[in-house]
Amino acid sequence: MKLRTLVIAMVLTVMLPSVARADEGMWLLSLIGKNYDDMRRAGFQLTPEDIYSVNQSCLKDAIVGLGNAGSPFWHFCTGEIISSQGLVSTNHHCGYGKLQEHSTVEHDYLRDGFWAYTKEQELPNPGLTASILVRMEDVTAKVKESLSDDMSEGDRAAAIKKVCTQIEEEAVAGTKYAAKVKPMFNGNQFFLFVHIIYRDVRLVGAPPSSMGKFGGDTDNWSWPRHTCDFSMFRIYTDKEGNPADYSQDNIPLTPKHHLPVSAGELNDGDFAMVMGFPGTTDHFLTSYGLEEAMDITNKLRYEIRTVKINILREEMAASQATRIKYASKYASCSNYWKYSNEQNKALKNLNTMGVKKAVEQEYSDWARFQSSPKYSKALDLIRKGYADRAKSEESYMYLMEGLLTGSEAPLFASGLCRAFKRDLEQDKNADLGRYEARVNSFFKDYDERVDRRLSAALFEYVYVHMNPDYCPQFLKDANKKYKGNWEKYVNDLYSKSIFANQESLGKFMLKPNAKQLEKDPLAAAGQEALNAYFSCDESVSQESKDNLQRGIRDFTDGILQINEKNGKLMSPDANSTIRLTYGNVMSYDPKDGVAYKYYTTMKGVIEKEGPAGTEFEVPEHLKELYAQKNFGGYTNRRGEMPTCFITNNDITGGNSGSPVINGKGVLIGLAFDGNSEAMSGDIDFEENLQRCICLDSRYMLWVIDVYAGAKNLIEEMDIVR
């Protein structure tokens, strides 16, 4: 709220973590009937059964969670089925990693884009999965039958795991489905999710990165935007329609439901609904957790990644081969690098700390009158828990961001070294050839010179800045021996290691020597960094960890009771399960003297144009089509070619690629970003400022149809004008 910092009484009545407005909340589909009246008032024209039903096709059947085979229930992005032949649209940045994997210097799909004009040209992506919800069920009562308040946290976790495993196994027995029970409201409720998970997902198309990432880091998390953020995939099944691994004999999925795609008008105030798989939010975070998030997590992530970002920018600008190798890694690193900084700004500007403290005061006033003492103890447990782990969390960040995920070779070396040792201990003549695929995958997108440079810079940064009590000994020894010359240290480290490049590793794998593994300095450094990371956890007592977990659960339980008494609905925090948010297309005024309208056009793309190779490069073909006003009938009523629009929907990471659906169930856009002014939204929803930035479906259709000439894709969609 704009006046939230002025009157604390208003904070108490408006900002208690509850449903202050219909557009706040990530709602579970099976419970959406409770929101139906609000949705109708906002412009929804369908029924709750049109959204979620077990007995008939509905919108849920067109919503896809994109994941990886190793963790199919954690969805990194969302997609939507937009044809009867299993065609899926999602964000460009969601497909970016697959574009990068298929790119070479000769076929640079990142630079040039990719389009399959026949199904035979579509590219397989081993490991990529597409998950669709079959049904969900509240199993809280079943789980809580095995729980009691006097249980230790360890016993509670074991009991939950046991009963959830039983529920999951019973839910999918004799079916082709997969199931997972997920906790909600910090362990106060539990829901079963049953999915069908497809394993043959092929790349169909994407515009060049100059369009799909137009604006780059500069425009990220900001409005106005002109980014053509979409890519396309297709789900394949075996001949019986079942999930199957990739095979040339597989056929396109015939979905239960697919979304029509709008080429019609879009107006300020139109109903907008986002369905997808949001990753994580923390709306029940206390002031103590907020302090940790701001002063440790966000602050250190931004500072440490800045070192890495600056090096990668230089290296990628100097070489096309390096740019291709590191494109996906850079994108992954830079996204939450900027997010962390912008979120801290928003949290300060919106006085979120004051809001949280006001909520805690309200909670404390309520807790004093409860018969159970656990509620009055909760905040003290939380406060002490965060204080106990402060030094450990700070060290976690330095070790993870600086040593384990900063450069790549140390962690890769330690992991592979352990695997080699295990095999050679069992058989001194063990064939290490089974690791060839793992080795090839790593070195495909690796440059030893770049990795050396990253290690030197990040090793030095970590040594200089982190608490010496937690600093790995190898950094202390290196600083002493090499007198602060980190480049010389790293060059020696890599030169003496078999893991630093594929040639030396390949020779070793042909003639393995266990003694050589024991002496490998790069593997030893990576292992020591990993050991230091795990030892941080050991520095905090189990009692403190348990008390913090218990305090958070009891505090959340209290907030639920307060809001239930006040007749206010609440949605659980996001946890990569399918959710729905609803609101309206809506312009906004972010600050004094600034007013943003709800949409942008291709005129803005031309106005933002920068030199070739920059974040604002505009392809020549797009400029030609714009000059010709060749918009293919996808303009708005003003004759403009729309590019993006904004709504007031509540979204977060994982929602990327989510369909934005109008009141009639038609796709009007793809959600791809939030706005910097309300980057506090994952912690505290700001209803006047929160905006979801979306690609307009008309821009997507224009690119497919006019820019790319992929008429084959246009013909299989149901386009609504």
Using a 10 angstrom Cβ sphere, with 0-12 exposed, 13-18 middle and 19 or more buried, the burial of residue 256 is: middle
Name the 3-class secondary structure at 712.
helix
DSSP 394-434: HHHHIIIIIIISSSSHHHHHHHHHHHHHHHHHH-TT--GGG
Q: What are the tokens at 559?
A: 């907030």
pTM over 0.75: yes
DSSP structure string for 626-654:
HHTT--TT---TTS--EEEEEE-----TT
Mean pLDDT of 435-454: 96
Residue type, 608: K
pLDDT category, 1, cuts 50, 70, 90?
very low
Among 448, 402, 399, CA closest to 308: 402
User: How many whole angstroms separate alpha carbon 248 and alpha carbon 119?
Assistant: 11
In angstroms, the CA 236 to CA 232 distance is 13
Q: How far apart are CA 609 and CA 606, in angstroms?
A: 5
On whether the CB atoms of residues 514 and 421 are closer than 8 A, the answer is: yes
The length of the chain is 721
Give yes or no for a contact between 685 and 356, defined as CB atoms under 8 angstroms apart. Answer: no
Beta bridge partners of 237: 251
pLDDT of residue 686: 85
Catalytic annotation, residues = 93, 229, 656
Q: Would you place residue 420 in the very low, low, confident or very high pLDDT band (cuts 50, 70, 90)?
A: very high
For 696, list phi and psi in degrees, rounded to 5: -75, 130
Scanning the structure block, which residue is given the tokens 């002025």? Answer: 6
| SS3 at position 262 | strand
With 70 as the cut, is the pLDDT of residue 223 above it? yes
Model confidence pLDDT, tens digit, residues 304-349: 999 999 999 999 999 999 999 999 999 999 999 999 999 999 999 9
Tell me how far apart the alpha carbons of residues 541 and 538 are, in angstroms, rounded to a whole number.
7
Average of pLDDT values for 663-676? 97
Tell me the three state secondary structure of residue 668: strand
**Per-residue model confidence (pLDDT) at position 591:** 87
- What are the structure tokens assigned to 141, written together? 């009562």
Per-residue pLDDT of 490-542, as tens digits, reads 999 999 999 999 999 999 999 999 999 999 999 999 999 999 999 998 999 99
CA angle 89, 93, 98 (to 5 degrees): 80
What's the chain's Rg over C-alpha atoms? 26
185: alpha, beta or left? (left if phi > 0; alpha if psi -120 to 50): left
Residue ranges of the domains in the chain?
57-256, 390-539
Residue-wise pLDDT tens digits, 564-590: 998 888 999 999 999 999 999 999 999
Q: Whose CA is closest to 62, among 649, 717, 721, 710?
A: 717
